[in-house]
Structure 1
Amino acid sequence: MIKTIGTAACTAVAVESDPYIPLTISWSSENKRQPLYWRITGKAGGELEIKVDAQSGAIRELVIIEAPPKAIDAGAPDSREAEAGIPVFNRSPWGISTNPDYSEFKAGVVTSTEDLSFSMENGTVKLAFSTKRAVRALVCDNVQIYLAGDGSLSAVIVQSPSAT
């Protein structure tokens, strides 16, 4: 799993859902450069794509292409104070090039396999990335991102998404 290395300010977020794509979360970005792509396959099923800002490493979009299975424990991580912001990822897995401005990456897409689970109940959507305990929570409008102690994603929770 790609680890987070910091946070960025949250300016706006949009949440969408339809019969074909269970969930799309988009965070606004001024950068119009091609994003870096992180494709995640669930060990028990499911497929996600996370778009990462190539310049800053901030998350730009999370798309559930195929819903992972529902976990037996689909409850929220331990409640805690959430800080405003969005995660910034370590971009080294994409292989930063030796260009003087470090503007190009050796790979545009990286892949990983994770313990994904997904539930959508009573206006709350939960996407879990692992069974690691969440120690930090970031919030941007109605989207909460939980991080494990090692900086990896633990869960994403959307409260009352407008399109579900």
Structure 2
Amino acid sequence: MIKTISYKAPCSILIKNEGYLPFHISFPSEETSTPIYWRTGNFENKLIEIGINEKSGSICSIALILPGGIDQKQVKNTIEKKTIQGFPIFQISEWLKETYKDELCEFDVFIKKSSIIIEFSKEKETNFVYTSNNIEFGFDSNSFLIWINIEINKEDAFIFDKILGSQI
């Protein structure tokens, strides 16, 4: 799992459909250096890649490469907790020499109203949330990322049609 150590002011986002990817979200202000990547999933039908600025530790991209199945059930971890307006900075000091870190982890993709939730842990309770524009990052009591909630506005809904059809 990936751990946050701090946060910074919220930043702008750009949501794209890049053909073969269900979606790709970039944070242009964080694309100032070559990213390193945290990749997780079962690496067969589920894979997500989070690009991290190697200098600052903040996210520069999120790409859902293989979503697996998509469920519409209620997600427990989205319960409101302490919310901080900010953008997470992750602890990457122990893997800076690598260009990526692969971790085997089952994650689930859910649809809830007009949002997509990527849940990395069902067992852990949400302790706090960083929110930046229309993306929320949920963390447990040990500061590990346990879910991402992407609110989909009407302007971006067409991008998600590839994986969601008309479910939003």
Q: TM-score range by the shorter chain?
A: 0.7 to 0.9
Note if contact 1:2-1:93 (Cα within 8 Å) is conserved in structure 2: no
Match of 1:29 in 2: 29
Note if contact 1:74-1:126 (Cα within 8 Å) is conserved in structure 2: no
Label 1:64 to 1:30 Cα distance change in 2 as closer, same or farther (>3 A): closer
Match for residue 119 of structure 1 among 94, 101, 110: 110
Label 1:114 to 1:7 Cα distance change in 2 as closer, same or farther (>3 A): same
Instruction: After TM superposition, list the pairs within 5 Å mapping 1:1-164 onto structure 2.
Output: 1-17=1-17, 20-29=20-29, 32-42=32-42, 45-70=45-70, 74-75=74-75, 77-94=78-95, 105-131=96-122, 132-161=124-153, 162=156, 163-164=159-160
Following superposition, the deviation at residue 56 of structure 1 comes to 0.7
Gap runs ≥5 in structure 2: 161-168
TM-score under structure 1 length normalisation: 0.81
Letter in 1 for 2:109: F
Structure 2: distance between partners of 1:128 and 1:90: 20
Note if contact 1:44-1:115 (Cα within 8 Å) is conserved in structure 2: no
Note if contact 2:74-2:112 (Cα within 8 Å) is conserved in structure 1: no
Letter in 2 for 1:91: I
Alpha-carbon RMSD across the aligned residues, in angstroms, is 2.3
Label 1:119 to 1:16 Cα distance change in 2 as closer, same or farther (>3 A): farther
Label 1:74 to 1:20 Cα distance change in 2 as closer, same or farther (>3 A): farther
Following superposition, the deviation at residue 144 of structure 1 comes to 0.8
Following superposition, the deviation at residue 19 of structure 1 comes to 6.4
Q: Of Structure 1 and Structure 2, which has the larger fraction of its residues in helix?
A: 2
CA offsets 1:17-75 (integer angstroms, 9 cap, x no match): 46632222222325522111111123884001110011110111110000033468542
- Percent of aligned pairs sharing the same letter: 21
Following superposition, the deviation at residue 138 of structure 1 comes to 0.8
